[in-house]
């Protein structure tokens, strides 16, 4: 699954005017030739345990200047001394085929990552101090092939994420509440982090919520391994949220075709199983909300350096096997993927509601009330 799903991120080649035309006629073969590295994976230096002690290894942390995660639109501002800490893993921003993993000093990849932090991680900056590591992410082409090199690149990227997370925990101390969040490749690494560092460990009691956005989670075969339940109420803490956004007419077959051919974390086929779908407007699963309930959608500037809030924002409802519909297509400056997939805007379309969702779940966590609610039984494969 990991090698295939970011195939949907073809937005990165649609940035040129002729991209859609070229993709229509040449499609996958052209993308593979243009984006998959031809050389074998060679790796690189192992991340030293002390590397992430250096502020330069982070895009965002409380003690660095020019922190892109502190951006806010007009009439909003970051919280003063926010009570929680946020570990945020940014999505793929490196598309060069020269390397299987991004060099840490690649200017274009770093600038794109900063754009993602402004539009995504900033939603958390009222409730939590944001820590977002630089990491040697797998290149976009790693998701277009089943070659062993691709999985090696993903494993290599995850080692950086893990080293950063261990330093994050050391910096925080033993008691501070934690919010986990990621998108796309970042959400893939977050799933693994939940399995390896949270599930079945005392750390799980410190997790306010985990936002695993833009990556599918099988309710039946993945969720039990992540160590936290699905969020089933708007004020629940200690749980997982996830969604994948489409406009109508929605065609998520590019996701389901791959998803149905993969196995879950329990080793059983995901085929036919439903995915976690949290409505980010309501904070509840399988819900519907009118556009008037969306308190603000970010509308990016042409240079992607800033954004304004569109109010009301888009509507949202869960549909099918666990996808999120925003109704009719909206103009957010392009970058919409085939099938009316609004993957790039999974966070920004619901920026204000996510901000309030985080605060609400933290209030429950801080109150000492029961952190979880009874979850519905997992959905079995559909026949």
Mean pLDDT of 187-213: 97
- Predicted local confidence at residue 18, as pLDDT: 35
- Predicted local confidence at residue 322, as pLDDT: 96
- The residue with greater pLDDT, 46 or 268, is 268
Sequential DSSP letters for 7-57? GGGGGGTTTSTTHHHHHHHHHHHHHHHHHS-SSPP---PPPPTTGGGSGGG
Alpha-carbon distance of 278 to 310, in angstroms, equals: 22
- Predicted local confidence at residue 382, as pLDDT: 42
Torsion over CA: 97, 101, 106, 112 (sign): positive
Which residue is it, tokens 């957010």?
A: 332
- Predicted local confidence at residue 248, as pLDDT: 97
The CA angle 126-131-133, to the nearest 5 degrees, is 145
Alpha-carbon distance of 342 to 26, in angstroms, equals: 22
Nearest to 322 by CA among 351, 264, 279, 261: 279
CA 318 to chain centre: 18
pLDDT band of residue 146 (cuts 50, 70, 90) is low
- The residue with greater pLDDT, 3 or 207, is 207
Alpha-carbon distance of 204 to 193, in angstroms, equals: 12
pLDDT in tens, 348-359: 999 999 999 999
- Predicted local confidence at residue 342, as pLDDT: 95
- Predicted local confidence at residue 187, as pLDDT: 96
- Predicted local confidence at residue 29, as pLDDT: 55
pLDDT in tens, 72-86: 999 999 999 999 999
Q: Is the pLDDT of residue 339 over 80?
A: yes
- Predicted local confidence at residue 24, as pLDDT: 40
Q: Is the pLDDT of residue 39 over 60?
A: yes
- Predicted local confidence at residue 35, as pLDDT: 67
Residues 79/124, Cβ–Cβ less than 8 Å: no
The edge-to-edge listing of strands for the beta sheet with 178-183 is 58-60, 128-133, 84-89, 178-183, 207-213, 239-241
- Predicted local confidence at residue 25, as pLDDT: 37
* Helices 185-193 + 148-172 axis angle, to 10: 60
pLDDT band of residue 107 (cuts 50, 70, 90) is very high
Mean pLDDT of 30-52: 71
Which residue is it, tokens 């350096």?
A: 305
Q: Is the pLDDT of residue 19 over 60?
A: no
Alpha-carbon distance of 269 to 247, in angstroms, equals: 28
Q: Is the pLDDT of residue 37 over 80?
A: no
Peptide bond into 258 cis (omega under 30): no
Q: Is the pLDDT of residue 46 over 90?
A: no
pLDDT band of residue 26 (cuts 50, 70, 90) is very low
Q: Is the pLDDT of residue 281 over 70?
A: yes
Residues 292/312, Cβ–Cβ less than 8 Å: yes
In 3-state terms, what secondary structure has residue 153?
A: helix
Sequential DSSP letters for 164-205? HHHHHHHHH-SS--EEEEEETHHHHHHHHHIIIIITTSGGGG
User: 24: burial class by Cβ within 10 Å (0-12, 13-18, 19+)?
Assistant: exposed
Peptide bond into 10 cis (omega under 30): no
Mean pLDDT of 233-256: 95
Residues 245/341, Cβ–Cβ less than 8 Å: yes
- Predicted local confidence at residue 112, as pLDDT: 93
Sequential DSSP letters for 53-104? GSGGGEEE-TT-SS-GGG---TT--PPSS-SEEEEEE-------TT-SB--T
- Predicted local confidence at residue 7, as pLDDT: 36
- Predicted local confidence at residue 246, as pLDDT: 98
Sequential DSSP letters for 294-337? ---EEEE-TTSS-EEEESS---EEEETTTEEE-SS---SSS-PB
- Predicted local confidence at residue 305, as pLDDT: 79
**Range among 144-153, 284-293, 334-343 rated most confident:** 284-293
- Predicted local confidence at residue 200, as pLDDT: 97
């Amino acid at each position: 699954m990991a090698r295939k799903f970011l195939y949907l991120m073809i937005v990165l080649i649609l940035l040129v005017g002729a991209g859609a035309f070229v993709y229509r006629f040449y499609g996958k073969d052209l993308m593979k030739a243009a984006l998959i590295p031809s050389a074998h994976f060679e790796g690189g230096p192992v991340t030293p345990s002390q590397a992430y002690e250096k502020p330069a290894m982070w895009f965002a942390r409380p003690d660095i200047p020019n922190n892109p995660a502190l951006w806010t639109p007009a009439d909003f501002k970051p919280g003063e001394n926010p009570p929680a800490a946020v570990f945020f893993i940014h999505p793929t921003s490196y598309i060069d085929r020269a390397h299987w993993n991004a060099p840490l000093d690649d200017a274009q990849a770093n600038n794109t990552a900063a754009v993602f932090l402004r539009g995504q991680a900033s939603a958390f900056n009222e409730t939590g101090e944001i820590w977002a590591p630089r990491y040697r992410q797998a290149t976009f082409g790693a998701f277009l092939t089943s070659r062993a090199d691709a999985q090696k690149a993903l494993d290599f990227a995850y080692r950086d994420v893990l080293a950063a997370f261990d330093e994050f925990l050391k910096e925080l101390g033993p008691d501070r509440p934690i919010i986990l969040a990621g998108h796309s490749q970042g959400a893939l690494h977050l799933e693994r982090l939940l399995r390896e560092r949270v599930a079945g460990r005392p750390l799980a009691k410190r997790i306010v919520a985990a936002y695993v956005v833009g990556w599918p989670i099988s309710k039946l075969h993945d969720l039990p391994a992540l160590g936290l339940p699905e969020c089933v109420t708007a004020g629940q803490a200690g749980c997982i949220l996830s969604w994948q956004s489409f406009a109508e007419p929605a065609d998520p077959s590019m996701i389901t075709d791959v998803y149905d051919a993969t196995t879950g974390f329990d080793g059983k086929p995901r085929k036919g199983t439903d995915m976690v779908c949290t409505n980010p407007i309501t904070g509840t699963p399988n819900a519907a909300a009118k556009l008037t309930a969306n308190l603000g959608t970010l509308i990016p500037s042409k240079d992607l350096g800033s954004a304004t809030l569109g109010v009301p924002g888009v509507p949202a409802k869960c549909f099918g096997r666990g996808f999120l519909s925003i109704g009719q297509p909206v103009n957010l400056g392009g970058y919409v993927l085939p099938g009316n997939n609004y993957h790039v805007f999974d966070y920004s379309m619901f920026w204000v509601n996510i901000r309030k969702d985080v605060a609400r779940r933290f209030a429950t966590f801080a109150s000492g009330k029961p952190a979880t609610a009874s979850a519905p039984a997992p959905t079995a494969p559909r026949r």
